[in-house]
Structure formats: structure tokens, C-alpha cells
Amino acid sequence: MGFSLDRPRALAWRLVRLVIARCSVDYVGRLTAHLPMAERLLMVKADGSVLVHSDGGSYKPLNWMSPPCRLEEDPQAGVWRVVNKADEKLIITFDEVLHEWAYDLGVDPGLQKDGVEAHLQELLAEHVETFGTGWRLVRREYPTPIGPVDLMCRDADGVHVAVEVKRRGEIDGVEQLTRYLELLNRDTLLAPVRGVFAAQVIKPQARTLAVDRGIDCVTVDYDALRGADDPSARLF
């Protein structure tokens, strides 16, 4: 069984790869999980993440490994091993590769935020003390190689803080901020950089993941920020 690409493997680091294969998947880490042999879609993104999809479950993968991680391929054994820095493993065992394709998507222009989310970012930039006394804004839309961080701030101790702003805080937003922090902390002029995930509503699963990754969560009152709430209706 072979794993061939139309382009040289040396270029694969900047390609998104799609593989349709009959395979089984085992996750070994803080818990264990097993997906029995079946036909599935495997996605290897240019940022290093590996996702396992079935023809169901909407957009959510059955299992995945987020970057930073490394993909070790053993074509002779028909096995992929995806290992992260915590030594957790996603082991994909192939029975048959039905199709494999790779493509360079180029530079993504980034998500165009809706009116509420964009305005929320503006308001938080104007009222950065929402996050704590002594905070100051460094820059909005702070650039990184994979897209801009909504707000780059300094806290009262002068530590850089990357703030990701969402209208509704979900796991995808935490993953996005995690990738930003990984890159920002490679910059010796910025590091250490910590993260804050700010949203009007934060889902429990997203909050759990954020806390596990050392990211603070802040629930933001949009109406209070823009002065549209009724102060007489507040408890405090």
C-alpha cells in the first residue's frame, strides 16, 4: 500500500491534504478512544493539525490532534502516528487508501466578523480596563503569520496578553487563540504572552478547554460596554 502525492513530500508542509481511506483510529493520552475500521476522510492542514471525519456529525471531526504536533508516516506498515508535545498519540491504521489529494490554499484573508463581534472588539479596545486595572492596549488586529490577533495588550505587570474576541465563545475560538499563542511565544521580544478568551457567552466545553491550556476566560456584557443597558436594573 502506498501514500503518493502529486507534489513532492518536501512541499507537503504548506499543503492541505485530504485522504479518503478505510482505516481504524486509536487515541492514546489522558484517555483512550477507538474508532473501528471504516471509510473515513482524513484532513492534514498546513498548520499541522490532523482531523478524522465521517460522513456525519456536521462539521465536527470524530477525532483530531491540534498543533503543535508531528505526523510520523510508516508506509510499509500502513500507519500514521500523530504525536503532540504531551506525548499523546493519534494512531491511524490503514487498510486501503481510496484517494489522496493535496493543495496549497495560499494565505487566508481571515474571517470577516459580523457587526456585533466587530463592534465588541472596538469597545473592548476603548475600554481595555474591562480585563483589569492597569491594562493598556498595544494594538488591535496584531499580525501573526496565520492571521491577526484581535487585541494585543499589556497587563498591569507589563506582560503581553493576546485577546481573542467572539460573540459566542466555542471550542474553535479557543483552538484559534491557542495557535496564535504558540506563534507569539516564539517571539523573544513578546514572550511570555498569555491569552484571554473574551465573549458574550462562553460554552462550558470551551471554558474547560481554555482553562486546561492556561487561557483566561472573560464574559463580556455588550450592552454595558456600549452604554445601552439600564443601570437601575443591575444588582451591583
* The one-letter amino acid at 149: V
From the number of C-beta atoms within 10 Å of its C-beta (0-12, 13-18, 19+), residue 84 rates as: middle
- pLDDT at position 124, please? 94
Share of the chain above pLDDT 70, in %: 86
The residues that bridge with 162 in the sheet, in sequence order, are 152, 195
121 contacts 111 by C-beta, under 8 angstroms: no
Nearest CA-CA partner of 50 in 59, 38, 39, 62: 62
Q: Is residue 232 part of a domain?
A: no
Coil, strand, or helix at residue 116?
A: helix
Share of the chain above pLDDT 90, in %: 69
Question: What's the CATH code of the domain at 160?
Answer: 3.40.1350.10
CB atoms closer than 10 angstroms to residue 163: 27
Same domain, residue pair 88 and 125:
no
Domain around 143: 115-225
pLDDT, tens digit (0-9, with 9 covering 90-100), for 178-235: 999 999 999 999 999 999 999 999 999 999 999 999 999 999 988 888 774 444 444 3
Same domain, residue pair 154 and 60:
no
Question: What's the CATH code of the domain at 18?
Answer: 2.70.180.20
What is the total count of domains within the chain? Answer: 2
End position of a domain, from candidates 103, 130, 149: 103
35 contacts 24 by C-beta, under 8 angstroms: yes
Task: Give dist(CA 212, CA 70) in Å, integer.
Answer: 21
- pLDDT at position 207, please? 96
Q: Is residue 110 part of a domain?
A: no
